Amino acid sequence: MSIDFKKFSGIGMTSDSSREKLVSMLKSEGIKNSDVLRSMRSIPRHIFVDEAIASKAYDNTALPIGKSQTISHPLIVAKMTEIIMKYKPKRVLEIGTGSGYQASVLSLLVDKVYTIERIEYLHKKSKKIFQKIGFKNIYTKYADGNIGWTQKSPFDAIIVTAGAINIPDALMNQLSNNNGILVSPVENSGKQYLKSITKNNDHYKEEIHGIVKFVPLLSGIS
């Protein structure tokens, strides 16, 4: 996919040099996958937030996007992406489109990204951004993410961008049996841990990748 990202380059704190500094920070924090770093460098994060806070877009911080939701820290986006890219997925499901930033990063790395958002305002807003940039491989749905997207399954990878108490069975059932991987924040004893679950037929491998903080995974639509 060929997209001219230069037309989205800003000035000052939203310039290309700001993205270079972001990539340098990601490297210093342990992100090693060159394709992930290239995608993070390419995607103009400032267009996913309101213009009033665009100057903070390349800081390693979460920022408000409306409806009590946030755009995740760039480091978390890079980390979750790097975890699934070890398995070279082609078809990825994202639960919680939010601003659309995570899906955009993924779009440069995989064949197809399917993303679900339960808040209609965010669903419509992110869809407009995808169209503005020119992505052709991101497919959006306004629905309850807990039930996934059965019609498009199985998925090579699933990324959940909200904190779950338990991983919904529906998502595990839609994960590929051939080394499918799901990454999600999971709450335990009042803390959220970034967990990956690899599925190989009836065998599951779980791994913890540190403590994180996400908005909760909710049911229904709004």
What is the DSSP secondary structure assignment for residue 62, as one 8-state letter? Answer: -
* Nearest-angstrom CA–CA distance, 150 and 80: 23
SS3 5: helix
Tokens of 14: 């939203």
- Residues with Cβ within 8 Å of 56's Cβ and at least 6 positions away in sequence, in order, are 13, 49, 63
- Cis status of the peptide bond prior to 154, with omega within 30 of 0: yes
**CB of 198 closer than 8 Å to CB of 188:** no
Burial class (CB in 10 A: 0-12, 13-18, 19+), 7: exposed
SS3 146: helix
Find the radius of gyration of the CA atoms of the chain: 16
Catalytic residue list contains 104: no
SS3 106: helix
Of 18, 39, 72, 104, which is the active-site residue?
A: 72
**CB of 58 closer than 8 Å to CB of 20:** no
Query: What type of residue sits at position 69?
Result: Q
Query: Known catalytic residues?
Result: 72
